[in-house]
Structure formats: structure tokens, C-alpha cells
Amino acid sequence: MKKYKQPNTVGRFGKFGGMYVSETLMPLLLNLDKSYKKIQKEKKFKEELNDLFKNYVGRPSSLHYAKNLSKYINGPKVYFKRDELNHTGAHKINNCLGQILLAKKMGKTRIIAETGAGQHGVATATVCALFGLPCYIYMGSKDIERQKPNVFRMKLLGATIIPVESGSKSLKDAMNEALRDWIKNVRDTFYIIGSTAGPHPYPKMVRDFQSVIGKEAREQILKAEKKLPDYLIACVGGGSNAMGLFYPFLNDKKVKIIGVEAAGRGAKTEETAATMTSGTPGILHGSYSYVLQDNDGQIKEAHSISAGLDYPGVGPEHSYLKDIKRVKYFGVTDAEALKAFQTCSKLEGIIPALEPSHALAYLIKAFKNKHKNKVVILNMCGRGDKDLFTAAKAIGFDADE
Ligand SMILES: *Cc1c(COP(=O)(O)O)cnc(C)c1O
């Protein structure tokens, strides 16, 4: 294991990250980086963000000892970091609040964002409603069709949805279009990216805003167990909820860290989103990282039952953590996640989102009858309401039975 190093001034995590963007975008990113560095240190900014975390989001989220699940696994003591209890049902709101406060301080008057499943779109539309700023959400037309409840939520919250018809008509194409919009509307627009992806300074900035998860978890576990956890586990799409939990523990060498990707129908099949198990380093959305690409370097389409993990790239910090062997990454299939989704609902009375169900599935599989007397924290980063129809269809559930 090599020692963890912070990214350099152009956002290089080892050989990953950076700013692979057109010249028109460069000044915007440099300006954003400068403003973020300045504002981040301001006491008033921290106070405002903490107040919103507490009174709007409902932080700190609790750390729940999942007794029944622990008994079922017959291995470690499992704790859930319950970020699914946040306002809007996932961790995305932590980052959106941080970025919109920054947008306000920078004097921006128009907000844009990309969304896949609609979770980041809903969180962005929410903070725009709260701060009274116009909100434009880029969304692939295929995703609009399959995520109708979230489309309706965003509209209720006052956002304008811009359908994207290019490419595979899903998340990666929405992100391309949002980047194009930003270039055209440089002066008044702020682009809120939803994960630890994209060009510098986004991966670092999003990680910082999400690391409230790990900071709280650290205090809570020290209180509950009088020691640090032995393991941390989180699901990885672009990587923001995982970085949020992991970051405050990276220098604690004894804490083992596991990231779980969506392997779809299998990491070796074409229908997968397991970027780090099946991908190779390449460039996507302005950053050098592991990506799913063909022999010509064309980005492939990802597949996962969980829309939030259905992304052919991953944040550069994760690629770096994999390379220095600080974090281990594993893939979990649709079927395994779906089973864990049901097990957790029945045993703990918590219906998880399909994304953290991947982390749960790995935990159940790899820790069964093992690692007794160890302590695990799993990031329960989203609730399952949004996934009920997808899950019901996949399970073959008939409400009339
Ligand atoms: C968006 C989302 C994810 C994937 O994004 P990360 O940046 O990898 O965290 C995971 N879980 C939930 C509940 C989400 O909404």
C-alpha cells in the first residue's frame, strides 16, 4: 500500500484526474477552483452550510446497529450510516447545497445540472427552489421515459427539463450537453455536477462536501464502539457517497476499505457497469480515469439494474485509490443486489435503494460466517422508494396476490 497523497493543483490524483477540456472551458474551471479555495475557508460559508445540513437536510444522519442483519450474516457487527434519511432520500443533497452556496457567492444566477436516474436532478431542483434560482436539468430522453416520477418531482420543484437525444440518450450524453451549455453561458451559469467525476476541481470539491458522511460516522462509531471500524463498505457509481464515507478514514491504515461496483449481468459480459473491474484507463467528461471503452477508445454503454450506478466511468480518486491499493473494488450483479434489497427490507425494516443494495450484497456474500468480532460501517446512501417499480418488475411481484 502506497501512502495517500492529495491531488496536485490541476487535480491529479496520481496519474488520474486532470482537466481534459476545450480551451473555452479552461478559464471557467480555473475560476471555479480559485473561488472554491477562497470560499471554503470562510467562516460564514461553513456556518451557512452547517445550518442547512442540520435544519434542512436533517443531519447528522444516524448510525444504526443492524442487529438482525448482523445475526443473519453470523460475522461482524454491521452498522448502517443512514444517509437515506436525508431530505430527498439520498446523499446527493449534501453536495448540491455546498455547490449552490458557492454559486451564490460567485454571483451566478442560473443553474444547470445533468441527471441519469433523476436523483441528482431532484436534489438540484430542490436547492434551486430553496434559493430561488432558475434550474435547467439535462436528461437523456431514454431516462426521461424510464424515470417518470422523478421527472414529475423536478417539474413540481420548478425545474426545466431539457431532453437529450444524442448518443445513448442517457447520463453520459446528458453530461456532454450540460458541458456544452456551460461553454455557451459562461457568465451567469453555474454547473452543479452530481458525483466525484468530471474535470478538476469537481472530483475534489464534491468529495469535500460529501465527506460530512465520514466525519459524522467516525465520531459516532468512536462513541458506540470506542474504536475505529475494521471495515468500510460503500457502493460506487461516480463515487461520491463512497468518497464521502472513505475520505476521513484514508490515513487510518487499520481501517480496510471496500468499494462495490455494479456488475450488471456479470463483470465479463457486455452488460455491466463495473468500470474498475472490467474497464481500462481513458478520458471521459474531462478526466482521466478507468472507463468502459472499446478497442478504438469509444465509450461503451453501461448497464445496471440501478440507474444510479449505470455510468461507464468512475471518479479519478477511486482509480487512484485502486492503484495505490488503499481501497479494494468488487463487482456485484443485478440479481445479487436484488436479493440483498429484499433481505435488508425483511430483516431490518429498511427498504434500501438498489445502489447500496450492491454494497449489502457484497457484505452478505463475503462476510458470511467470517470476521467475527469485527465492526463494519456500510453507507446506506439512499432509500428504495424510487426503485419500487423496477424491483417489483424484476422480482415478478404481483400486488394482487
Ligand atoms: C446517485 C446515487 C448513487 C451513485 O452515485 P455516487 O456518486 O457513486 O454516490 C448511489 N446511490 C444513490 C442512492 C444515488 O442516488
- Nearest CA-CA partner of 216 in 357, 99, 79: 79
Residues 246 and 319 in one domain: yes
Domain end, chosen from 206, 229, 264, is at 206
List all residues whose CB is within 6 A of at least one atom of ligand 1. 90, 92, 119, 195, 235-242, 308-309, 353, 355, 381-382
Helices of type H across 190-333: 202-210, 212-225, 240-246, 275-278, 316-323
CA-closest residue to ligand 1 atom 13:
382
Q: Report the distance separating Cα 370 and Cα 390, nearest Å.
A: 32
**Interval 204-253: pLDDT, tens:** 999 999 999 999 999 999 999 999 999 999 999 999 999 999 999 999 99
CA-closest residue to ligand 1 atom 2:
308
Residues 145 and 258 in one domain: no
**Interval 28-66: pLDDT, tens:** 999 999 999 999 999 999 999 999 999 999 999 999 999
Please tell me the distance between residue 401's alpha carbon and the centre of ligand 1 in angstroms: 33
Residue 237: count other Cβ atoms within 10 Å of its Cβ: 32
Q: Is the pLDDT of residue 2 over 90?
A: no
Q: Is the pLDDT of residue 382 over 80?
A: yes
Stated as kind and residue range, the H or E segment containing 356 is helix 354-367
Please tell me the distance between residue 391's alpha carbon and the centre of ligand 1 in angstroms: 17
Locate the ligand 1 atom nearest the alpha carbon of residue 84 and give its number.
Answer: 13
Please tell me the distance between residue 400's alpha carbon and the centre of ligand 1 in angstroms: 32
Residues 286 and 320 in one domain: yes
Q: Could you say which DSSP state residue 154 is in?
A: H
The verdict on residue 11 lying in a domain is no
CA-closest residue to ligand 1 atom 14:
308
Locate the ligand 1 atom nearest the alpha carbon of residue 381 and give its number.
Answer: 13
The verdict on residue 3 lying in a domain is no
Q: Is the pLDDT of residue 400 over 80?
A: no
- Mean pLDDT across 382-386: 94
Q: Are 222 and 228 in contact (CB under 8 A)?
A: yes
The verdict on residue 190 lying in a domain is yes
Q: Report the distance separating Cα 286 and Cα 125, nearest Å.
A: 24
Residues 162 and 262 in one domain: no
And the C-alpha cell for 24? 473555452
Residues 157 and 225 in one domain: no
- CATH number of the domain enclosing 152: 3.40.50.1100
Q: Report the distance separating Cα 54 and Cα 62, nearest Å.
A: 12
Burial 323-340 (b: 16+ CB within 10 A, else e): beebbebbbbbbebbbbb
CA-closest residue to ligand 1 atom 12:
382
Residues 175 and 315 in one domain: no
- Mean pLDDT across 340-345: 98
> Mean pLDDT score of the chain, rounded to an integer?
96
Range of the domain at 269: 58-89+211-395
- Note if the bond before 201 is cis, omega within 30 degrees: yes
CB-based contacts of 98, cutoff 8 Å, min separation 6: 49, 205, 208, 209
Q: Report the distance separating Cα 92 and Cα 17, nearest Å.
A: 21
Q: Is the pLDDT of residue 307 over 90?
A: no
**Interval 179-195: pLDDT, tens:** 999 999 988 999 999 99
Please tell me the distance between residue 23's alpha carbon and the centre of ligand 1 in angstroms: 30
The verdict on residue 4 lying in a domain is no
What is the domain count for the chain?
2
- Beta bridge partners, 256, equal 231
CA-closest residue to ligand 1 atom 3:
308
Q: By three-state DSSP, how is residue 24 classified? A: coil
Q: Are 222 and 252 in contact (CB under 8 A)?
A: no
Q: Report the distance separating Cα 168 and Cα 55, nearest Å.
A: 39
- Mean pLDDT across 14-32: 95
Task: Give the global pTM.
Answer: 0.97
- Beta bridge partners, 332, equal 262
- Note if the bond before 60 is cis, omega within 30 degrees: yes
